[in-house]
Homo-oligomer: A and B are copies of this chain.
């Protein structure tokens, strides 16, 4: 569903030691599948589905059972090491936790583009719901990506 490549907005992935510490600090054990899945996702970069992660793992050596990939992804999310990408309904996408950012989705080619978040705007969003405790704000922008915008303009001119 989502066409996607590397991410222009990201922090650097964690090493095994810090990774382990973070897992333990949340009461989670450090296991093979979790390290493998995290590294696969970090190595691929960008936004990836559980299936894409599984495939890349298999490509790199012995494969992990599908269920294990799902389990590991869930554990990593719980540990705050990776995030579920807010990019609308459909297949769940994950990304290594890095700097806060938003997402742009092209309605034509489905490209998913990271957009640096403006902390000022971000701040105003967080105070928008009276009575509620707003913990995070994700923005989904939709429209035509730069490439499709170009193509669209070209088509309008010539024919």
Contacts and interface: CB of A to CB of B under 8 A. Distances in A.
A18 interface: no
Nearest to A143: B135
A130 B115 CA distance: 10
A113 interface: yes
A121 interface: yes
Contacts of A146: 129-132
A41 interface: no
Interface in A66-106: 84-93, 102, 104, 106
A145 interface: yes
Interface of A: 84-93, 102, 104, 106-107, 113, 115, 118, 120-121, 124-126, 128-146, 149, 152
6 contacts: A89-B93, A121-B128, A125-B141, A129-B141, A135-B142, A138-B140
Contact of A132 (B89, B120, B145): B145
B143 A136 contact: yes
A2 to B, nearest CB: 10
Contact of A88 (B86, B133, B139): B86
